[in-house]
């Protein structure tokens, strides 16, 4: 069956990006679509469209992420148990246990005897997290579902719009980030921004559009000499492109630095893609030889990848007219992982390397699950979850050279509990880079931290004011 036939059989589905749909099992997708269409018959969205059109859009987002047939089929079936009379057992009989388990993981818990909306919401989050631990494809479908709901938010009542946008900002965009899915995260953040701060969004969008020509001209001035230098240095197959900044990240920088739009120099961003890791470092040397770098803005995420698998070299240099340019250097594999995160692993899921990378990507997630088992109230669980979805992270060293990753703003107390619960519980002091430091001191990237313990020392209530990780706060 061709892509065109699939498009005819599933209205609104396709054609795919660069033949992305050709590798899918079209017969299974058509069967899933028909099953969903019959089950959702008579149901309409707030826009007036048949409900099944939403299921098709979710499946299309998943197909464009180049996911496997099972995941795309689950996109077509994702609301079937929650919103129709179909049961998980019916889905298992029709499509097998794998698809049934994923659809069950996406289904909110019905008829919970809970006293508040918050409790119900928390129990649904708990179920979602446990389902992700069993099969990470659950979060990919959940994010695709949320992305399409955010794209069509205009049809909801203003109060519900705000509630959905706030939940997206607090939970789903950070989850997309922690699973390394930058493209999905950026769109979710910008859409949440549009509905939560509509005036600021409109004003910034207007400024960005007005300056687009000027920005593109500056990037062109840097791009051409940069491309020439890299090629002259013998780096073959190099790709240099301007990199758009999304609105929410610009707005956050303006707020954090209390600076107008014109002063946010990270707006001029360039990406350099090279064939292999060796050429990444070669390119960095060529760039620093040709342009003066800003020392404190050189970051090596290749040697020390972020916990979501992100790898790149970052540097900021003075370009034409002393204008600052932020440059990212990476390989094509790193670029795909940066955009698609764990979704990229399903392209090559047969390989052992991919399975190992996926396991690493879920390591932080297992820590969240450990904590949420101990949470006593819905509020406590939500606090743990939000703490562990912190976006920026730093890399620290133990005196023996082991690397510990913590959220930006973490203190020696967070470090102590990250090493071991007992080290945290008996922490009596800390040395940072060989000098005694207060337990409340914010740690900086690449520092060496030594925790001083005493068997008689025990946690103090004051420590709660100085910890940033869910684990430290809970213990």
Among residues 49, 68, 82, 447, the one annotated as catalytic is 82
CB 67 within 8 A of CB 343: yes
Residue linked to tokens 């859409």: 191
Please check whether residue 186 is in contact with residue 200, taking contact to mean a CB–CB distance below 8 angstroms.
no
58: nearest Cα among 158, 137, 167: 137
Residue 391, φ and ψ in degrees, nearest 5: -85, -40
Cα 430–Cα 435–Cα 438 angle in degrees, nearest 5: 45
Task: Spell out the residues 6+ positions from residue 258 whose beta carbon is closer than 8 angstroms to its own.
Answer: none
Whether residue 15 has a cis bond before it, omega within 30° of 0: yes
Query: Residues, the chain, total?
Result: 475
Q: Which residue has the tokens 């023996």?
A: 400
Paired strand residues for 452: 429
Q: Which of 25, 83, 333, 393 is catalytic?
A: 83
What is the tally of helices (H) and strands (E) in the chain? 22, 10
Whether 82 sits among the annotated catalytic residues: the reply is yes
Retrieve residue 271's tokens.
């990406």
The CA distance from 472 to 295, in Å, is 33
Is 83 in the active site?
A: yes
Phi first, then psi: what are they for 223, rounded to 5°?
Answer: -60, -45
Task: Compute the C-alpha angle 312/234/236, nearest 5°.
Answer: 65
Question: Would residue 378 be called left, alpha or beta, if left means φ above 0 and alpha means ψ between -120 and 50 degrees?
Answer: alpha
For residues 263 and 278, what is the distance between their CA atoms, to the nearest angstrom?
A: 34
Residue 430, strand partner residues: 437, 451
SS3 430: strand
Which residue numbers are catalytic? 82-83
């Amino acid at each position: 069956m061709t892509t065109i036939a699939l498009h005819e059989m599933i209205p609104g589905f396709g054609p795919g990006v660069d033949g992305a749909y050709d590798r899918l099992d079209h017969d299974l997708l058509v069967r899933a679509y028909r099953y969903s269409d019959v089950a959702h018959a008579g149901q309409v969205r707030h826009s007036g469209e048949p409900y099944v059109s939403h299921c098709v859009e979710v499946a299309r987002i998943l197909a464009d992420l180049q996911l496997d047939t099972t995941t795309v089929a689950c996109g077509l079936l994702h609301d079937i148990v929650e919103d129709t009379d179909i049961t998980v057992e019916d889905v298992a009989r029709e499509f097998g246990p794998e698809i049934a388990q994923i659809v069950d993981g996406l289904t909110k818990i019905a008829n919970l005897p809970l006293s508040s909306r918050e409790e119900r919401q928390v129990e649904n989050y708990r179920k979602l997290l446990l389902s992700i631990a069993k099969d990470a494809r659950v979060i990919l479908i959940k994010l695709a579902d949320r992305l399409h709901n955010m794209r069509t938010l205009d049809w909801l009542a203003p109060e519900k719009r705000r509630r959905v946008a706030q939940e997206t900002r607090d939970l789903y965009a950070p989850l997309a980030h922690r699973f390394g899915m930058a493209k999905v995260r950026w769109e979710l953040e910008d859409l949440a921004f549009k509905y939560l701060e509509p005036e600021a969004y409109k004003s910034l969008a207007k400024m960005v559009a007005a300056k687009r020509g000027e920005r593109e001209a500056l990037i062109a001035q840097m791009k051409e000499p940069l491309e020439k230098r890299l090629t002259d240095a013998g780096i073959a197959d190099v790709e240099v492109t301007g990199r758009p900044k999304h609105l929410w990240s610009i707005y956050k920088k303006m707020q954090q630095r209390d600076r107008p739009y014109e002063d946010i120099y990270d707006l001029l961003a360039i990406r350099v893609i090279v064939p292999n890791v060796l050429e990444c470092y070669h390119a960095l040397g060529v760039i620093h030889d040709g342009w003066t770098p800003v020392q404190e803005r050189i970051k090596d995420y290749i040697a020390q990848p972020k916990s979501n698998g992100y790898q790149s070299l970052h540097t900021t240099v003075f370009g034409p007219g002393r204008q600052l340019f932020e440059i990212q250097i990476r390989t094509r594999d790193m670029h795909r992982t940066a955009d698609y995160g764990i979704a990229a692993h399903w392209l090559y899921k047969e390989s052992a390397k991919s399975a190992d990378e996926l396991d690493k990507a879920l390591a932080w997630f297992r820590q969240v699950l450990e904590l949420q088992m101990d949470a006593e109230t819905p509020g406590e669980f939500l606090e743990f979850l939000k703490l562990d979805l912190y976006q920026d992270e730093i890399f620290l060293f133990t005196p023996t050279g082991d690397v510990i990753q913590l959220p930006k703003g973490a203190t020696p107390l967070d470090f102590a509990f990250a090493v071991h619960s007992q080290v945290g519980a008996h922490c009596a002091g800390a040395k940072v880079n060989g000098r005694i430091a207060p337990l409340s001191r914010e740690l900086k990237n690449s520092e060496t931290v030594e925790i001083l313990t005493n068997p008689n020392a025990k946690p103090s209530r004051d420590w709660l004011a100085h910890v940033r990780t869910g684990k430290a706060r809970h213990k």
